[in-house]
Amino acid sequence: MNALPRAIDLGVIGCPVCGLVCRTLPGDAQLDGDGVDDDMACPRCHSYLRRRKTNSYARTWALLIAGFLLYIPANVLPIMRTASIGDIDDNTIISGVVELWVKGSPDLAVIVFTASILVPMLKFLALGTLLISSQRGSDWARPQRAKLYRLVEFIGYWSMLDVFVVALLTALVRFSVLSRVEPLPGVIFFGLTVVLTMLASISFDPRLIWDGRNTDD
């Protein structure tokens, strides 16, 4: 036993919701999180107790792939239409960033670029890397991968930025024929992408990073 014992080896389990620590039997089939007979409850808050999140790999992969599929129309389709007399202008996420860079303020363009393009891409790459490396039981760069997961969890919801920008402009730019803004399907796909990638990062169990062949430090 090394200096940093893990709950799974000690025969204890921490409740993911309230943090209570309980004694268990090592290898208890009701706690393995495979979705079969997992009916152990935390004595304090009555949430399910599991050693690992249920079907973490399958669920995270499914949500991540679904999110990625919706991310394609989110970028290809325009997210917003600006209509004024005799002029209709459809904006995609990227053209919105370019426009902000050229006409408005480059610093905000950087923020929108980060929130709408960089963060989703980073999420796909990061979660994909975490999934593959953990499934292979790799012990490569474990502390860095743990850090990467916390980063993904923290930045995830900032991608919603562009959705709120479109919603606000739609509500405000309503000057009959002179000038109007309408939402286009791209923004719906983008909103769904953000939700799916957030769900994906929630279903990934970071403990799997440390579960590989040799957990000794």
Partner 1 sequence: MAFPNHPARRLNTCSSDALLVCENCDTVYRRRPLERGEVASCARCGAELDRHRALTVNALLALILTAMIVFVQANVWPIFTLGLNGQFNATTLWGMIVTMWQQDAQVVSVLAAATLFFFPMAKMLVMGWLLWFARAGRRAPGFAPLMVALHRIGPWTMSEVFVLGALVAIVKAHQFFEVIADPGIYAYGALTLLITIFSGVDMRQLWEQTPESAT
Footprint of partner 1 on 83-122 (CB under 8 A): 96, 100, 103-105, 108, 111-112, 115
The verdict on 46 binding partner 1 (CB under 8 A) reads: yes
Considering only residues 32, 48, 98, 117, which one is a binding residue for partner 1 as defined by CB under 8 A?
48
Shortest distance in whole angstroms from residue 189 CB to partner 1: 9
Residue with tokens 């009701």: 30
Q: Nearer Cβ to partner 1, position 65 or 210?
A: 210
Question: How many angstroms separate the CA atoms of 210 and 197, rounded?
Answer: 22
By CB under 8 A, the residues from 121 to 180 that bind partner 1 are 142-143, 146-147, 149-150, 153, 156-158, 160-175, 178-179
In angstroms, what CA-CA distances link 216 with 7, 52, 67, 87, 209? 14, 19, 35, 65, 13
Question: Exposure of 103 by Cβ count < 10 A (0-12 exposed, 13-18 middle, 19+ buried)?
Answer: exposed
- Asked if residue 21 binds partner 1 (CB under 8 A), the reply is yes
Site for partner 1 contains 60 (CB under 8 A):
no
Kindly state the smallest distance separating residue 68's Cβ from partner 1, in Å: 18
The CA dihedral of 92, 95, 97, 98, to the nearest 10 degrees, is 180
